Copies of this chain bind each other. A is one copy, B any other.
């Protein structure tokens, strides 16, 4: 199917575009009242993730309501650990929680490389979304980076320090690599199926990149991201490693097209390190708490900081749920206006 708006894909490939494409991480989510309306009739977050028609509905909402240049499939990075044998639940205002954790060889019992068929509800959601979008904008698929999924599986939930997964790197690196390898294999199969099901671009989220010392990041995270990037074909890949400013030079070597930047990355510095990559980001999500005038100003200044480097506009993190949707629209319209 020919895309009517392929700005995102052309920018990802480093091509000059008539204006900068824009979308928001977590655009399909609580920031939209229309999302909350769908969500409130359900037993929980997981029901939404696992019901393809509903996941598709909320994935399309931001395209209709916010007029973004891409849809991203509504799902969660934890569907992969779930398919590996470690079910999660998402506790409102607390975050993810696993009923068991992996801290020793024995804990690996019952954990397997995921059968990609066990995550069919995501492929189904992608197919329905793709059909409904009817070529209006590209559709983004995603996964967590192995290190981030590993962190949740070992810690058992969120944490300020993630000292449990880090402990394993220092105490039992062999076990860490064994689990990271299983996650990586699961992720590759999962992402390939996402591409077959219609994903036009894949984003890999390494949310906990920033808690590792540089050489540990290279060994326990980047190596596995590299394997994923090399295994996925036919679509551009974006790697968003939050807080991994120390690894920017290494990221230049990844077989991916775009690097996502959080809001404390200085675009003027990053541009020179990542000359051959498209950059995505990176307005502070809290900037959308400001006035309409300030949002226009901040957005312009963000666009200016990227200059004519290939760029996909976004926030530096997921949009916060208590953001006024009108402010989100102001951000999107400002990108379109100022970059034209």
Chain A residues with a Cβ under 8 A of chain B? 158, 160-161, 163, 166-167, 169-171, 210-214, 216-217, 243, 245-246, 263-266, 284-287, 289-291, 294, 316-317, 320, 322
Contact = CB atoms under 8 A, between A and B. Distances in A.
Given A161-B320, A213-B264, A264-B210, A286 B246 contact: no
A266 B290 contact: no
Contacts of A316: 213
Contact of A290 (B170, B210, B217): B170
12 contacts: A161-B320, A166-B289, A167-B286, A167-B289, A169-B286, A170-B290, A210-B264, A211-B264, A214-B264, A243-B243, A245-B245, A245-B246
Contact of A170 (B163, B289, B317): B289
A266 B217 CA distance: 12
Nearest to A301: B215
Contacts of A169: 286
B163 A286 contact: yes
B246 A171 contact: no
A280 B296 CA distance: 40
Contacts of A161: 285-286, 317, 320
A264 to B, nearest CB: 5
A217 B212 CA distance: 23
B294 A170 contact: yes
Which residue, A171, A214, A216, A286, has most C-beta atoms of chain B within 10 A? A286
Nearest to A295: B170
B266 A214 contact: yes
A214 B263 CA distance: 8
Contacts of A245: 245-246
Contact of A284 (B213, B243, B286): B213
Nearest to A167: B289
Contact of A212 (B167, B216, B264): B264
A136 B160 CA distance: 36
B246 A287 contact: no
Nearest to A268: B214
A252 to B, nearest CB: 16
A175 B291 CA distance: 16
A314 to B, nearest CB: 14
A92 to B, nearest CB: 14
B171 A290 contact: yes
A105 to B, nearest CB: 17
A321 to B, nearest CB: 10
Leading 10 A-B pairs by shortest Cβ distance:
A166-B286, A170-B290, A167-B289, A170-B289, A213-B284, A213-B263, A246-B264, A214-B266, A171-B289, A213-B264
A22 to B, nearest CB: 18
A215 to B, nearest CB: 9
A316 B213 CA distance: 10
A23 B90 CA distance: 40
A229 to B, nearest CB: 22
Nearest to A302: B213
